[in-house]
Structure formats: structure tokens, C-alpha cells
Amino acid sequence: MEPRNSYEHFNEFYPDEHNEAGYQPEKPKTGLAGRQAEFIQGKLSPLVMYTLLGVSLLLSIVILSIVVNLRNSEKTNSSLAELQREVSRLRENLYPVQPLNKWRLFKQRLYYFRSTRAGWNESQNFCTSMNSNLVVINNGDELEYIRLNANCAHWIGLHDTAEEGTWRWVDGTDYASNIKFWASNQPNGDERWEEDCAVVSEDGLWHDWPCNSQHFAICEKPTE
């Protein structure tokens, strides 16, 4: 028999001299596993990488846009609320150029500036017929509102007809503890004229005056 001297099966029995463990080189992987390996090794197609990067950037822009819009919406709502408060404040401060013989709103109170002159008692009766009273002045803001709307003397709901020198407000407000805006040397209680009723003059100060004298009147009532 002829000796076997072919080397065609040499690798089947003898490991590579550089591979002391005797393992054959691993064959390249194919399919999904192969593509995953390429991705891990940085061999993924540049087109795919750029596509993923673009999608990631687009999502970031969309999220940022949503956050900015939400913040702008909050600021817009806050600005609208502030604008509404400013409009309300301006409406309350529009004292001049308002029609007579109409109710006007100021700080949750309604005021009526009568355009007809009459005595104090008749004026109070007129206010009562409209479910109101002659005005009772409780603070400086109210006085300023009246001063800017009244260009002459108007009756107010203050009198001492029951007892000379004992002033009373028509709605029962305590005169002693309430704020007062009498002019200098007022009330002077001139007995010759029986000055038992009060008016507010165009400068906002009060004067006692004969109740049968003729003046305009200011009625007041709460908002309904």
C-alpha cells in the first residue's frame, strides 16, 4: 500500500501552530446576529446612523417646543388676568364725564347724582324711593370720587335735626368713630339759619346748611 503523503486532511488532525488551544477561527456571523455585531463594532451604515441621529434631534426639538409653548401659555394667562384687573381699575377711576340721573358703580357701591335741586328732606325721600339713602362718606377714596363728580354743593346723609350738635348718619353709621371732613370752623351751628343738614362742597369739604335750602343730592346704595 502506498504511504499516505497527502496533506489535504492535515488540518483535520493538527491544530494551527499559532493556535495552541487547537480551535479553528470563528466563522463570520450572518443574519440579525451579524448586524448586531456590526453595530457594536461600529460598522453600521453611516446612512442609518445619520437617520437615527436626525430622528433623535427632531424629537428633542418637538419636546422643547412643547415646553416653551406651555410656559408661554402660562405667561399669557397671567398677562390676561393682569390686564382684566387693570381694565376694572381704570373703569372705577373714570370719574368725570359720566351721565347724570344714572347709577354709577364705584368700589362695590352705587351712586346717583341727582340733577334736580331740592331741600334735604325731599332729597332723602327721593333716595328712599329708589331703595337708597343720601350718601354716607366713610373714607378718603369715596370722598375723592364724590369730589371729582360733583362740581357744586350736594346734600349728604348727615344731620343734627333731632338734637342740636348731635350729628347722625341716615343709615345708622356711628358718627363719633367715623372719619370726618368738615371745612375749617365747620359745623358752626348758626342758630339764625338752623343749619342742621350737611352738604359736601366742590372741594370735598363739609358744611352745615339750612335743611330747607335747595341743593343737588347724591344717593347711595350697595350693589344688588
Structural domain boundaries in the chain: 27-92, 103-222
In whole angstroms, what is the distance from residue 49 CA to residue 42 CA?
A: 10
Is the pLDDT confidence value at 55 over 90?
no
Q: What is the pLDDT of residues 106-143, one digit of tens each?
A: 999 999 999 999 999 999 999 999 999 999 999 999 99
The verdict on domain 103-222 having CATH code 3.10.100.10 is yes
Query: Chain-wide mean pLDDT for the chain?
Result: 77
Is the pLDDT confidence value at 12 over 50?
no
Is the pLDDT confidence value at 90 over 90?
no
Is the pLDDT confidence value at 22 over 60?
no
One DSSP character per residue, 13-71 reads HS--TT-TT-PPPPPPP-HHHHHHHHHHTT-S-HHHHHHHHHHHHHHHHHHHHHHHHHH
pTM comes to 0.56
Is the pLDDT confidence value at 144 over 60?
yes
**For 215, phi and psi rounded to 5 degrees?**
-145, 165
